[in-house]
């Protein structure tokens, strides 16, 4: 049996696969090192073949043009993945704030799976975010958003740098805002705890209230962080929606 493949279709599928692969290398939860590279490569090829019927065939006339198109698609995929990772970094940033104000920052360690450094709550929030992305199906929303990016940015076309810069600026602002919204209530409680300990020290200097305050702050952090932890499913869902909107905004 003879099987004839169009050179333009093969090139288009390869270019689409490179965009998917670059996105998976940067964007959570696919960027986690617990996911083998072979799985990411097969997923990229499978998704490229799935979206191929919707794509306009992009044939190149020389090897140099094809290599340039591959670099361009890798840049587009990495840029979209960076926008997604920027938004989801808010969860780890909230955990870092809780560690800082709760006194857990001294136990900071390097996580080789995520290639990040953080203490207990930062790692807990980060791992919970990754699990929720898979369990809730939010990863499918991200993949669907990336697939729709081919409608606005066809294979072989580049991103608008002005829109990309605006999206990065907005993403940074949203990241800090989301981090404060996630960890803000607990930070207020810990701040008021420090204020109360300071007032107690003024009333009775010999009591050494700040020495007694370490276990108290740990208790307050663990107790109230549990309430903030319960809100993470809704937070992850909202972040996934914002990530897709950010990709569509850049690609439009």
Cis peptide before 29 (omega within 30 of 0): yes
Residues 6+ apart with CB under 8 A from 44: 17, 18, 20, 21, 24
Q: What is the DSSP letter of 34?
A: T
pLDDT of residue 207: 67
* Whether the Cβ atoms of residue 213 and residue 111 lie closer than 8 Å to each other: no
pLDDT of residue 229: 77
Q: Report the run of H or E that residue 116 belongs to, with start and end.
A: strand 116-118
Q: What is the DSSP string of 107-150?
A: G-EEETTTTEEE-HHHHHHHHHHHHHHHHSSHHHHHHHHHHHHH
138-152 vs 63-102: helix crossing angle, rounded to 10: 140
Q: Can you give the pLDDT of all 252 residues of the chain as single tens digits?
A: 555 667 778 888 888 888 899 999 888 888 888 788 888 889 998 998 888 888 877 777 777 888 888 888 888 888 888 888 888 888 888 888 887 777 776 666 666 666 666 677 778 888 888 888 888 888 888 888 888 888 877 787 777 777 778 888 887 888 888 888 777 777 777 777 777 777 777 777 766 666 677 777 777 777 777 777 787 888 888 888 888 888 877 766
Whole-angstrom distance, CA of residue 145 vs CA of residue 139:
10
Three-state SS string across 189-223, please? HHHHHHHHHHHHHHHCHHHCHHHHHHHHHHHHHHH
In the numeric block, which tokens belong to residue 18? 């490179």
- Whether the full predicted model's pTM is greater than 0.95, yes or no, is no
β-bridge partners, 117? 110
* Whether the Cβ atoms of residue 178 and residue 96 lie closer than 8 Å to each other: no
pLDDT of residue 60: 73
pLDDT of residue 153: 78
**Residue tagged 């200097």 (tokens):** 205
pLDDT of residue 64: 81
pLDDT of residue 84: 87
* Whether the Cβ atoms of residue 208 and residue 185 lie closer than 8 Å to each other: no
């Amino acid at each position: 049996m003879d099987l004839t493949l169009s050179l333009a279709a093969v090139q288009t599928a390869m270019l689409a696969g490179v965009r998917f692969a670059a996105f998976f290398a940067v964007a959570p939860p696919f960027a986690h090192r617990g996911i083998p590279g072979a799985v990411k490569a097969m997923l990229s090829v499978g998704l490229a073949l799935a979206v191929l019927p919707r794509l306009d065939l992009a044939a190149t006339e020389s090897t140099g043009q094809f290599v340039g198109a591959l670099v361009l698609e890798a840049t587009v995929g990495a840029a979209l993945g960076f926008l997604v990772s920027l938004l989801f970094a808010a969860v780890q940033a909230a955990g870092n704030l809780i560690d800082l104000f709760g006194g857990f920052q001294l136990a900071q360690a390097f996580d080789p799976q995520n290639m990040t450094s953080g203490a207990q709550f930062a790692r807990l929030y980060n791992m919970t975010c990754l699990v929720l992305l898979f369990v809730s199906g939010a990863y499918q929303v991200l993949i669907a958003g990336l697939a729709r990016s081919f409608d606005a940015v066809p294979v072989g076309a580049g991103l608008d740098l002005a829109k990309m810069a605006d999206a990065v600026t907005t993403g940074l602002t949203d990241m800090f805002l989301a981090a404060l919204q996630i960890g803000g209530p607990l930070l207020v409680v810990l701040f008021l705890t420090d204020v109360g300990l300071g007032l107690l020290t003024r009333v009775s200097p010999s009591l050494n209230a700040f020495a007694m305050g370490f276990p108290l702050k740990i208790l307050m952090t663990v107790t109230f962080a549990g309430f903030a932890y319960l809100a993470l499913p809704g937070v992850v869902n909202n972040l996934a929606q914002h990530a897709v909107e950010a990709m569509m905004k850049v690609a439009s």
